[in-house]
């Protein structure tokens, strides 16, 4: 069945090496050919919409521009790629951004995951208000969070800089982590944990051996989200950055004076790095799944 | 303040412990407790703001000038010090050369994207008379004026900046700092008419073109009222340098009338550059330095100093109040005023340099730049350049409020 | 400490670090801003707490147009994103086969390029002479004057673009979790795929749609980057006003008051929306 539909399906993504999926669920009464085709086209267009400005940005990293601005196509060059770190401040800003993103992701994911577990697994008093409270940061405009946090740091005499950016990023990431992990936990059968406890496992070992492995995909998704929120934050960061430059701050400043093509180059490199890491993750997971299947067979 | 913080935290932990230890409490009791915690948080917050928000009350100018006359910054080793500037506003080799020549190490940060944004970030330290961790900042005239009249600056020691004699005569005095005791110009630029000659089909020379129905919906206006309203005043034959707040509000009103009829496609900051290069508009109110850069990619783009005259804005080097390394900062000021260094900088930035005698140097090294009217305006043009008005903080707020109504924010 | 007592404390130990962080770095600063919103004064003399609630009324009177516009744009963008995202999420969940991961990767790709950079790219692509604007003119989205940028449509376009992944991901997550046997059983019973979709798949996807709508709508209401890059003076949103009050006009009380009005309306809206979609506990569904 799957072998008949998938490869001939014009909606299938045009990726080299498309092979029929052995694991595709069996479906009765496939919708008409036309409708399936439409769905594929729609999805492809939607993805094109999402990546169009990114492609545009990559193309202009090869632009042979003459002045400070990089708006008009003046011919192909590799000169910006030859020396991507030519602009030391830009490189430093990227380094800061990456470091802040990694640190805030680790801390926010840890705190948020624990908080989500407490909220879903335990019927403690004060759960509903806590639930609501955790949700509030997501409903607050960023400019409010940024400005009020700065006001507090100033009153307490805390100098703004790398540390305060980190604190702020952890703050606004926690809620997103909680929400993402919670949805995974809610989809999980609580009886598994109970069974583990009935079988004599303690709280701690149940947590590490049962709960955590089950929600791992949710935690991973939350971590990706936290990383993405941090690496692209402009508004909150701009208030609490002091003299520390981050990548988005640099870009925003540069849009006023002309964005140097190295920004395009470094953005593209960052994208390739992230892409590589995620593909690696996909490959590893597929390997693991294959080994699993082999072990079961 | 920290103690309060700690106390509130421990009280909160206490509340949580109580909650847990007493086991089954009624729901109502819990609600009471969480309300208590919320009150505690409110209490902490009100401690934070009990003192209100300090204003930027104006200092006594005579007192400041007295301080300036007495200022003395002895020579010390340069050490590590900080220079805050706008992005892409410095030839980095100048900094390396400085470090090599004078020792020490300059931490150069490009963290000023916008005068108001930057002020918003350091305002509280300044009003509380605390150092802001920077030894030189670069601010545009109106903001520089605000800092001087609020006493947020440290006067520099003339003895350490002998090269200040190289400052061009037209900039040696400015309303907010008549003796240049607190500020020293870094670069200047003019606000004028930017246009695409292919689209307009003719040369434009007058500010009136911005209000010409021919360009309805095909031109942009600057959102910064100091820039746009001052330009309109010049068009109306007034000198913005001695304009009052009412003159400025009148000019804003004039812009508002045209905006109401759909004359301007957008109000912009520097981002008019995309609209002009992409052909969305034919005419933009532009900064001269941007146009030099745009022309490098598109020779059809033109910049004209309006025949009525143009606003000359200056970005100023300043030492903030409670500066930690005044001698290092003054040494840099002096270095930037060496004609060779200034020439190098000018060739890189393409704005109008305030240092005299560099044109001769550039005629040899970079004749294109020396010939460019946008970088070296002729004497005839220089006479038509006017500076911003000086307004009080409250007047400024009124002007910004009026302009925000026009730009929709 | 007895075992049962330790077990009762456990949720607090789990919740404590994150909760404390949010209290110290979110609740306290925000409550501080509440007191700022009740201050009065001017930037030269400073602002003092005078419990001036009038600021709130003045803010609503002066800026109701920007509020309406913000909610209108955010609502339109949420709707557009739903229309784009649902088929895409459905496709990825059920039809993408082993390339699911790749498709999802493409969906989150934009997260890793700065929003300012992407929006600025759109500004260049969507110029009046551009190919895309000409095509949009062909289908009647763009008026005859050929102008798309600096209009409300461009701002809605930008917002829809920037927050689209936030709609796709939660819908995908709920669709992916639906037990396929349910759908198969339903299509056996109802004999029509469309009915099965309408009666089974769609209702089961409601939590995802709800979450996606919130994740798009809320940040969209406070956004000002799209409006300032793609819009014009008659497309400004409340975020632009708050921004300019904070940084240009230095009218901190009004800025704070506007922020809390915005937060209040958003929370109220979510509560009503949750009711309409028939959810008992709105925060439970926010995931």
Nearest alpha carbon to residue B121 among C46, A238, A247, C25: A238
Give strand pairing partners of C281: none
Neighbouring chains of B at 3+ CB pairs within 8 Å? Answer: A, C
Nearest alpha carbon to residue B334 among B173, B187, B166: B166
Q: What does DSSP assign to residue B357?
A: T
Superfamily of domain C64-285: MetI-like (1.10.3720.10)
Which residue in chain B is spatially nearest to C11 when comparing CA positions? B20
Helices (H), B134-287: 141-150, 197-200, 225-235, 245-260, 272-277
Q: What CA–CA distance (Å, rounded) separates C271 from C190?
A: 34
Model confidence at B360: pLDDT above 90: yes
pTM equals 0.84
Helices (H) and strands (E) in chain B, counts: 17, 12
Burial class (CB in 10 A: 0-12, 13-18, 19+), A28: exposed
Across B39-51, b (16+ Cβ under 10 Å) vs e yields: ebbbebbebbbee
Q: C284 near A131, Cβ under 8 Å?
A: yes
Structure tokens at C273: 């929306």
DSSP per-residue string spanning C40-61 = EEETTTEEEE---THHHHHHHH
pLDDT reported for residue B38: 53
What is the distance of C-alpha A98 from the center of its chain? 13
Residues in chain C with CB shorter than 8 Å from the CB of A36 are 95
pLDDT reported for residue C69: 96
Q: What is the pLDDT of residues A253-279, one digit of tens each?
A: 777 777 888 899 999 999 998 888 878
- Residues within 8 A of A (CB atoms), B 101-120 only: 107-111, 113-114, 117, 120
Q: What does DSSP assign to residue A229?
A: H
What is the distance of C-alpha B353 from the center of its chain? 17
Query: Tokens 């003159």 belong to which residue?
Result: B247
Q: A137 near A169, Cβ under 8 Å?
A: no
Query: C-alpha angle with apex C271: C266 to C275, nearest 5 degrees?
Result: 145
- Residue B74: how many other CB atoms lie within 10 Å: 9
Q: What CA–CA distance (Å, rounded) separates C227 from B271?
A: 13
Question: Distance between terminal CA atoms of chain C?
Answer: 36
Nearest alpha carbon to residue B272 among C142, C225, C229, C153: C229
Query: Tokens 């005043």 belong to which residue?
Result: B233
Task: Flag if C36 and B49 touch (Cβ within 8 Å).
Answer: yes
Across B372-404, b (16+ Cβ under 10 Å) vs e yields: bebbbbeeebeebbbbbbbbebebbbbbbbbbb
CA dist C58 to C62, C106, C116, C236, Å?
6, 46, 32, 18
| For range A156-184, the mean pLDDT | 90
pLDDT reported for residue C7: 62
SS3 assignment, position A212 = helix
Kindly report the nearest CA distance between residue B30 and chain A, in angstroms: 7
Q: What is the pLDDT of residues C201-244, one digit of tens each?
A: 888 888 889 889 988 998 899 888 899 899 999 899 999 998 88
Q: What is the H or E stretch that residue C82 is in?
A: helix C54-94
- Residue C207: how many other CB atoms lie within 10 Å: 22
Taking the CA atoms of residue A76, residue A80, residue A81 and residue A83 in that order, the dihedral angle to the nearest 10 degrees is 150
What percent of chain B lies above the pLDDT cut of 90?
A: 65
Q: Which of B16-20, B194-198, B371-375 has the lowest mean pLDDT?
A: B16-20
Burial class (CB in 10 A: 0-12, 13-18, 19+), A82: exposed
- Residue C191: how many other CB atoms lie within 10 Å: 10
C109 at interface of A, judged by CB pairs closer than 8 A: yes
Q: What is the pLDDT of residues B136-167, one digit of tens each?
A: 999 999 999 999 988 899 999 999 999 999 99
SS3 assignment, position B205 = coil
CA dist C170 to B137, C79, C86, C103, C173, Å?
46, 15, 10, 15, 5
Q: What CA–CA distance (Å, rounded) separates A263 from C274?
A: 42
Task: Flag if B114 and A256 touch (Cβ within 8 Å).
Answer: yes
Nearest alpha carbon to residue C252 among A155, B49, A136, A140: B49
pLDDT reported for residue B244: 96
Burial class (CB in 10 A: 0-12, 13-18, 19+), A24: middle
Q: What CA–CA distance (Å, rounded) separates A247 from B326?
A: 30
Model confidence at A8: pLDDT above 70: no
Q: What CA–CA distance (Å, rounded) separates B287 from B189?
A: 7
Q: Which of A69-73, A122-126, B252-256, C25-29 has the lowest mean pLDDT?
A: A122-126
Nearest beta carbon to residue C244 from set B12, B279, B409: B409
Residue B75 pLDDT level (bands cut at 50, 70, 90): very high
Q: What CA–CA distance (Å, rounded) separates B184 from B316?
A: 5
pLDDT reported for residue B140: 95
pLDDT reported for residue B41: 54
B100 at interface of A, judged by CB pairs closer than 8 A: no
- Residue B188: how many other CB atoms lie within 10 Å: 23
Residue B22 pLDDT level (bands cut at 50, 70, 90): very low
Q: What is the H or E stretch that residue B194 is in?
A: strand B183-196
Model confidence at B238: pLDDT above 50: yes
Task: Flag if B44 and C28 touch (Cβ within 8 Å).
Answer: yes
- Among B24, B54, B111, B278, the strongest candidate for a mutation testing the A interface, having the largest count of A CBs within 10 A, is B111
Q: Helix, strand, coil: what percent of chain C each, to 5?
A: 80, 5, 20
Q: What CA–CA distance (Å, rounded) separates B144 from B317?
A: 9
Domains in chain C: boundaries: 64-285
Q: What CA–CA distance (Å, rounded) separates A216 from A201?
A: 20
Residue B43 pLDDT level (bands cut at 50, 70, 90): low
Helices (H) and strands (E) in chain A, counts: 13, 0
Q: What CA–CA distance (Å, rounded) separates B20 from B91?
A: 62
Q: What CA–CA distance (Å, rounded) separates A65 from A77?
A: 9
Structure tokens at A81: 């790629």
Task: Flag if B279 and C44 touch (Cβ within 8 Å).
Answer: no
Across A136-172, b (16+ Cβ under 10 Å) vs e yields: bbbbbbbbbbbbbbbbbbbbeebebbbebbbbbbbbb
A260 at interface of C, judged by CB pairs closer than 8 A: no
Q: What is the pLDDT of residues B296-348, one digit of tens each?
A: 888 999 999 999 999 999 999 999 999 999 999 999 999 999 999 999 999 99
Structure tokens at C287: 């995931």
Kindly report the nearest CA distance between residue B146 and chain A, in angstroms: 21
Nearest alpha carbon to residue A113 among A223, A225, A278, A227: A223
| For range B365-385, the mean pLDDT | 92
Average pLDDT over chain B, rounded to whole? 86
What percent of chain B lies above the pLDDT cut of 70?
A: 86
Residue B82 pLDDT level (bands cut at 50, 70, 90): very high
Q: Which residues 6+ apart lie within 8 Å of B383 measured at CB?
A: none
A283 at interface of C, judged by CB pairs closer than 8 A: no
Residues in chain B with CB shorter than 8 Å from the CB of A243 are 82, 84, 107, 109, 111, 133-134
Q: Are strands B183-196 and B301-304 parallel, antiparallel or unpaired?
A: antiparallel
Task: Flag if B271 and A258 touch (Cβ within 8 Å).
Answer: no
Which sign does the torsion angle of CA C242, C247, C250, C256 carry? positive
Q: Which residues 6+ apart lie within 8 Å of C134 measured at CB?
A: C146
Query: Tokens 């009177």 belong to which residue?
Result: C61
Angle between helices A162-186 and C3-22 (to 10 degrees): 130
Q: What is the pLDDT of residues A201-225, one digit of tens each?
A: 777 788 788 888 888 888 988 998 8
| For range B117-136, the mean pLDDT | 86
Structure tokens at C95: 């039809």
Kindly report the nearest CA distance between residue A124 and chain C, in angstroms: 7
Residues (pLDDT < 50) of chain C are 1, 280-287
Q: A85 near B290, Cβ under 8 Å?
A: no
Model confidence at B6: pLDDT above 70: no
């Amino acid at each position: 069945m799957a072998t008949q539909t998938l490869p001939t399906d014009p909606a299938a993504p045009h990726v080299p090496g498309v092979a029929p999926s052995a694991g595709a669920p069996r479906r009765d009464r496939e919708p008409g050919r036309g409708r399936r085709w439409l769905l594929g086209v729609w999805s492809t267009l939607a993805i094109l919409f999402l990546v169009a400005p990114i492609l545009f940005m990559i193309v202009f990293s090869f632009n042979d521009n003459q002045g400070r601005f990089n708006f008009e196509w003046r011919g192909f060059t590799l000169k910006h790629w030859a020396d991507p770190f030519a602009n030391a401040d830009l490189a430093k800003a990227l380094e800061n951004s990456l470091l802040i993103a990694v640190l805030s992701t680790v801390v926010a994911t840890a705190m948020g995951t624990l908080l989500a577990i407490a909220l879903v697994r335990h019927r403690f008093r004060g759960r509903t208000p806590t639930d609501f409270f955790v949700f509030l940061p997501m409903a607050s405009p960023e400019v409010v969070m940024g400005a009020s946090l700065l006001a507090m740091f100033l009153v307490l005499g805390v100098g703004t800089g790398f540390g305060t950016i980190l604190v702020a990023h952890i703050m606004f990431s926690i809620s997103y982590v909680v929400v993402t992990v919670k949805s995974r936990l809610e989809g999980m059968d609580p009886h598994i944990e109970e069974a583990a406890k009935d079988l004599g496992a303690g709280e701690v070992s149940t947590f590490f051996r049962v709960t955590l492995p089950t929600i791992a995909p949710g935690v991973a998704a939350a971590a990706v989200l936290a990383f993405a929120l941090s690496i692209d934050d402009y508004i909150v960061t701009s208030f609490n950055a002091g003299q520390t430059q981050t990548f988005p701050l640099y870009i925003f400043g540069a849009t006023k004076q002309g964005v140097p093509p190295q920004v395009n180059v470094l953005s593209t490199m960052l994208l390739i790095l992230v892409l590589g890491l995620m593909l690696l993750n996909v490959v590893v997971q597929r390997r693991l799944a294959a080994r699993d299947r082999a072990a079961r067979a | 303040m920290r103690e309060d913080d700690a106390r509130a935290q421990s009280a909160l932990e206490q509340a949580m412990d109580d909650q847990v230890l007493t086991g089954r409490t009624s729901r109502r009791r819990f609600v009471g407790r969480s309300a208590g915690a919320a009150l505690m948080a409110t209490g902490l917050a009100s401690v934070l703001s009990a003192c209100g928000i300090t204003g930027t009350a104006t200092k006594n100018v005579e007192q400041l000038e007295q301080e300036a006359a007495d200022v003395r910054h002895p020579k010390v080793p340069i050490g590590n010090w900080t220079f805050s500037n706008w992005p892409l506003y410095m030839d980095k080799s100048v900094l390396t050369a400085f470090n090599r020549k004078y020792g020490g190490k300059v931490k150069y940060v490009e963290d000023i994207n916008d005068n108001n944004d930057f002020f918003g970030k350091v305002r509280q330290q300044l009003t509380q008379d605390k150092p802001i961790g920077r030894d030189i900042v670069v601010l545009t005239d109106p903001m520089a004026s605000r800092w001087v009249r609020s006493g947020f600056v440290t006067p520099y020691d003339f003895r350490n900046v002998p090269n200040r004699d190289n400052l061009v005569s037209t900039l040696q005095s400015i309303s907010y700092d008549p003796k240049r005791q607190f500020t020293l110009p870094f670069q200047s630029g003019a606000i004028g008419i930017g246009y695409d000659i292919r689209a307009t089909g003719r040369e434009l020379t007058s500010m009136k073109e911005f209000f010409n129905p021919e360009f309805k919906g095909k031109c942009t206006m600057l959102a910064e009222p100091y820039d746009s309203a001052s330009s309109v005043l010049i068009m109306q034959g007034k000198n913005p340098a001695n304009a009052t707040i009412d003159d400025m509000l009148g000019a804003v009103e004039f812009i508002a009338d045209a905006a109401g009829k759909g004359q301007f496609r957008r109000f912009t900051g520097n981002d008019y550059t995309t609209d002009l290069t992409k052909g969305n508009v034919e005419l933009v109110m532009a900064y001269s330095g941007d146009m030099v850069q745009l022309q490098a990619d598109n020779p059809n783009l033109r910049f004209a100093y309006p025949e009525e005259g143009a606003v000359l804005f200056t970005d100023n080097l300043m030492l903030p109040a409670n500066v930690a390394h005044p001698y290092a900062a003054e040494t840099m000021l002096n270095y930037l005023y060496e004609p060779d260094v200034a020439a190098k900088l000018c060739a890189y930035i393409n704005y109008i340099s305030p240092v005299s005698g560099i044109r001769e140097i550039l005629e040899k090294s970079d004749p294109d730049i020396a010939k460019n009217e946008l970088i070296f305006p002729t004497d005839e043009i220089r006479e038509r350049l006017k500076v911003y008005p000086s307004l009080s903080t409250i007047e400024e707020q009124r002007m910004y409020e009026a302009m925000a109504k026009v730009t929709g924010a | 400490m007895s075992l049962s007592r330790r077990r009762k404390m456990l949720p607090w130990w789990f919740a404590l670090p994150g909760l404390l962080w949010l209290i110290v770095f979110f609740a306290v600063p925000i409550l501080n801003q509440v007191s700022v919103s009740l201050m009065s004064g001017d930037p030269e003399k400073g602002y003092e707490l005078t419990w001036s609630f009038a600021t709130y009324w003045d803010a609503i009177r002066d800026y109701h147009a920007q509020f309406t516009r913000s909610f209108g744009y955010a609502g339109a963008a949420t709707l557009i994103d739903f229309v784009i995202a649902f088929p895409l999420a459905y496709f990825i969940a059920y039809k993408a086969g082993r390339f699911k991961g790749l498709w999802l990767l493409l969906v989150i790709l934009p997260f890793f390029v700065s929003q300012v950079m992407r929006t600025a790219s759109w500004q260049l692509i969507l110029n009046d002479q551009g190919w895309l604007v000409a095509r949009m003119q062909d289908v009647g989205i763009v008026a005859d004057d050929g102008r798309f940028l600096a209009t409300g449509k461009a701002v809605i376009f930008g917002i829809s673009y920037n927050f689209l992944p936030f709609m796709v991901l939660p819908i995908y997550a709920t669709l992916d979790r639906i037990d396929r046997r349910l759908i198969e059983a339903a299509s056996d019973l109802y004999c029509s795929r469309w009915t099965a979709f309408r009666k089974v798949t769609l209702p089961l996807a409601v939590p995802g749609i709800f979450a996606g709508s919130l994740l798009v709508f809320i940040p969209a209401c406070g956004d000002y980057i799209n409006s300032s890059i793609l819009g014009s003076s008659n497309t400004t949103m409340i975020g632009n006003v708050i921004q300019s009050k904070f940084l240009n006009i230095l009218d901190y009380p009004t800025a704070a008051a506007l922020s809390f009005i915005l937060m209040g309306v958003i929370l109220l809206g979510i509560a009503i929306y949750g009711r309409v979609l028939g959810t008992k506990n709105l925060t439970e569904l926010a995931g």
